[in-house]
Amino acid sequence: MTITERFLKYVSFDTQSSEETGTTPSTKKQMVFAEVLRDELISEGLQDVELDSLGYIYATLPSNTSKSIPTIGFISHLDTSPDASGTNVKPQITYNYNGKDITLSADKVLSPKQFPELLDHIGEDIITTDGTTLLGADDKSGIAAIVEAMVYLQKHPEIEHGPIRIAFNPDEEIGMGAHHFNVEKFGCKFAYTIDGSECGEIEFENFNAAAAIITVTGRSVHPGSAKDKMINAGRIATEIVQMLPQSEIPETTEGYEGFYHLTSISGNCTEANLSFIIRDHSTGKFQERKRVITRIVETINQRYGNGTATLTLTDQYYNMRKQVEPQMYIIDIACQAIKEAGMLPKIKAIRGGTDGAQLSFMGLPCPNIFAGGINFHGPYEFLPIQSLERVKQTIINICKITAQYEWQHK
C-alpha cells in the first residue's frame, strides 16, 4: 500500500466530531475508523497496540538499538471538523498541476486567484474534493504519514532509532482531543502532533484561549407604552458587540495580534445570548482582554440595572511556549529533520489551539508539525501528494536524529 492509497482509504471513513453529544468519542463513527486503524497497526507489525473505550489508540515501535535513547511520540487526531460534511468523500487527483483552475464540481472551482498557495505546488499531484465535502487531510494526512513512517522504519532496520510511541485520538476539532489522553501510559519524553498545514511549518506557540458567554435579561413591554419601562435585551446585545474594540476581530488581525470573536448571537426583547471566544498569544494581553469584557458587562449593569447582563468566562487552553521553550532541543531536532527532508523550517505561531498545547501542560512537551494539507474544514481543501511524502520523511528523520542526539546532558 502506498502512502497515497493509505490516505485515500482513511478519508473514506466519515469521522466528524460533534459538540452536541457530550460523549467520548463524540460520534460513534470515529470509533468505527479507530477499530479499523487498530487492526491495521497490528497487521503492520506495531506492538502494544491498544484501543481504549474512549477511542484513543496507542501503539509502539520498539527500539532497534542498544543505545539509551528516550521514547518519543507522534500524535494525530481521528476526527474531522463539524464545519463541513465528511460523508461520502470523493477525492480527485490532478496530476502534474499546471497552475490553472481546478474544477471541483459544476459550481465550485479551486482557483489560484482565491487560493494563491496553489501556485507553490505547480508540477505536483494534488488531491482535492469533488466540491461537496471536506477532504479530511486534517488530520488523516497526519495519520497516514505516521503509519507509513513506522512501516518504513521496520523495513529499513539500518536506520537506527529509539523506542517510538504513536497515538491517535478523537475529538480534537471540538477541543476535547487531549482531555482523556493518557500521558503516563504514552510514556514519552516529548512528542509532536502532526496536524499543521504547509510544508516546513513547526509551531510551539499558540493562543491563550477563553470562552465568554453573556446572557442579557430584558423587560418586555408593549412598544406603544414602553417609554422608561422596556429593556430590550436584543438591542443591548448589539450594544455589547459595539463596545468591544472594533479593530480587534479575526477579520482584521494576523500574526501575534489577538482578538475577540463573536461566535453566535440570538435573542429577542426578553432575553439575548452572546458567545465569544477570546484569543491572545501574550499572557498579559490575554488577561487584559478578559478584564475588558468583564468591564463591559459591569457597564451594562450600571446603565440598565444589576442583573441585566451576566457573564460566564471560562479559560480553555494556554500558550504552550512556556512549556516547550526550556527544552528547545525538541524544536532543534524538528528543524534539522525538516532541512534533511529538503525544506526550510518555518517557525510560526498558531492562530488557534492544538492538542499539543494541552498535552504540554499535562507534562508532555508537544509542538506541532505540518501535515501538508491546505484550506482545512471545507470543500476547497487540498493535499499535494508530494507534501504528504515530505511529512513522512520528516517523521523518519526525527526518529533518526533523536537516535544520534547527545542525551547525557538532557
pLDDT for res 408: 62
**Res. 119: pLDDT tops 60:** yes
pLDDT for res 363: 95
**Contacts of 247 by beta carbon, 8 Å cutoff, 6+ apart:** none
Q: What is the mean pLDDT of residues 325-337?
A: 96
79 as an active site residue: the answer is yes
Q: Give the whole-number percent of the chain exceeding pLDDT 70.
A: 99
Q: What is the mean pLDDT of residues 181-205?
A: 94
**Range 3-206+319-404 classified under CATH 3.40.630.10:** yes
172 as an active site residue: the answer is yes
Query: 39-80 pLDDT, tens per residue?
Result: 999 999 999 999 999 999 999 999 999 999 999 999 999 999
pLDDT for res 410: 59
Query: 269-284 pLDDT, tens per residue?
Result: 999 999 999 999 999 9
pLDDT for res 44: 97
Catalytic-role residue among 79, 201, 203, 248: 79
Catalytic-role residue among 14, 138, 139, 172: 172
pLDDT for res 232: 97
- Predicted confidence band of residue 407 (pLDDT cuts 50, 70, 90): confident
Q: What are phi and psi of 157, to 5 degrees?
A: -65, -10
CATH code for the domain defined by 208-317: 3.30.70.360
What is the SS3 string spanning the chain? CCHHHHHHHHHCCCCECCCCCCCCCCCHHHHHHHHHHHHHHHHCCCEEEEECCCCCEEEEECCCCCCCCCCEEEEEECCECCCCCCCCCCCEEECCCCCCCEEEECCEEECCCCCHHHHHHCCCCEEECCCCCCCCHHHHHHHHHHHHHHHHHHHCCCCCCCCEEEEEECCHHHCCCCCCCCHHHHCCCEEEEEEECCCCEEEEECCEEEEEEEEEECECCCHHHCCCCCECHHHHHHHHHHHCCCCCCHHHCCCCCCEEEEEEEEECCCEEEEEEEEEECCHHHHHHHHHHHHHHHHHHHHHHCCCCEEEEEEEEECCCHHHHHHHCHHHHHHHHHHHHCCCCCEEEECCCCCHHHHHHHCCCCCCEEECCCECCCCCCCEEEHHHHHHHHHHHHHHHHHHHHCCCCCC
User: 409 versus 79: which is more confidently predicted?
Assistant: 79
Domain extents in the chain: 3-206+319-404, 208-317
Query: 342-397 pLDDT, tens per residue?
Result: 999 999 998 888 899 999 999 999 999 999 999 998 999 999 999 999 999 999 99
pLDDT for res 135: 96
